[in-house]
Amino acid sequence: MLDTTNRFAYNEDHEMFRDTVRKVFAQHLEPHLEQHEKDGIVPREVWKAVGEAGLLCPTVKEENGGLGLDFGFNCVLCEELSYIGSAAGFTLQSDITANYFERLGSDEQRAKYLPGMVSGDIITAIAMTEPGAGSDLQGIRTTAVEDGNHLVINGSKTYITNGQNADCVIVVAKTDPTLGAKGTSLVLVDADTPGFERGRNLDKIGQHSADTSELFFNDCRVPKTNILGQEGRGFIHLMEELPQERLGIAVGAQASAQRAFDEAVNFTKDRKAFGQTVFEFQNTKFTLADLKAKLQVGWAHLDWAISRHLNGELTTDEASAAKLWHTDLQWEACDAALQLHGGAGYMNEYLIARLWRDARVTRIFGGTNEIMKEVISRSI
């Protein structure tokens, strides 16, 4: 269990929410983690249970069917989800897509999607990455060409979280390919739209319980009213959401690093070698001491970043730095903890193996850590 005794980003309401999150996860998520890993997806009934408990999209305003809470509640859920070792796509919906709908959506769009997103009846995804365009979103090739009162979408997306479960996808497409980034728009595509097809549930190194998919758009016709936000400002809309998205990644990474450390402590204090516990070897104690010091710094920094964001002060370069630092720490902690498990760490029956596998992608998604350094350097 995460120790939140010395945290300063949260108040009593956040901690009461945390208690609810733990109880719901203990009932509906933790007992089924291995099955979710095998199936490559978290069933919709789990989404529904989490939604009914009031844990999805907590920042959505009451008039849109939500609780109207601050982003700290999202962070609590993200910490607990990462700490138990689940890759469920709840945080993508709560931290990212809900904000797009609430901030950019028309009255009709908000009414159509947000209440269902809060309840777990509607699952969403955002389709940015393409086979030939990852961190460089200006290189996307999917088009949404005007045809009367409709847009005709053609193209493909890949590595899309919630791709198999999604009822609605926010598609990043070029509505005017001649204008480059300025011709990019966000377009809503419902899963039952003719011409929309899901590809395979991708076979990944880790995060197996997250349904990550290829999506295809073949003459997919949607009304022009399906544009989310302003036409041609899609790239700007995406950039506006990056600080929160990258902060969310940092939150999950820190919690995962803590769980890896805790697993290593428990294992080394129990496992014996050469007449003593593995923990008693100087190498073990020094490795864990080094990690504990970095985790202490990490939690303090994370609370600073969360507090900055809650006050509307977190900048893009600060969020990028948080994503860079905490995901690097996550990998260091998971790799060191696996090493301290010895051969057992290479066995999938131990949680550390899953934590290690799942950690590898966090330095890639949300913008690679190399891109984070580029973003940070621009502020120097």
Burial of 313 (0-12, 13-18, 19+ CB in 10 A): exposed
Whether the CB-CB separation of 353 and 206 falls below 8 Å is answered with no
Tokens found for residue 156: 């493909």
- Tell me the chain's radius of gyration from C-alpha atoms: 21
In the block, which residue shows the tokens 């990455």? 129
Partner residues linked to 172 by β-bridges: 186
Taking alpha carbons only, the member of 193, 143, 129, 136 closest to residue 166 is 193
Instruction: Give me the catalytic one of 37, 102, 130, 245.
Output: 245
Active site residue 245: yes
3-state secondary structure the chain: CCCCCCCCCCCHHHHHHHHHHHHHHHHHCHHHHHHHHHHCCCCHHHHHHHHHCCCCCCCCCHHHCCCCCCHHHHHHHHHHHHHHCCCCCHHHHHHHHHHHHHHHCCHHHHHHHHHHHHHCCCCEEEECCECCECCCHHHCCCEEEEECCEEEEEEEEEEEECCCCCCEEEEEEECCHHHHHHHEEEEEEECCCCCEEEEEECCCCCCCCCCEEEEEEEEEEEEHHHEECCCCEHHHHHHHHHHHHHHHHHHHHHHHHHHHHHHHHHHHHHCEECCEEHHHCHHHHHHHHHHHHHHHHHHHHHHHHHHHHHCCCCCHHHHHHHHHHHHHHHHHHHHHHHHHCHHHHHCCCCHHHHHHHHHHHHHCCCCCHHHHHHHHHCCC
Whether the CB-CB separation of 53 and 111 falls below 8 Å is answered with no
State the Cα–Cα distance between residues 119 and 121, nearest whole angstrom.
Answer: 6
Catalytic positions: 245
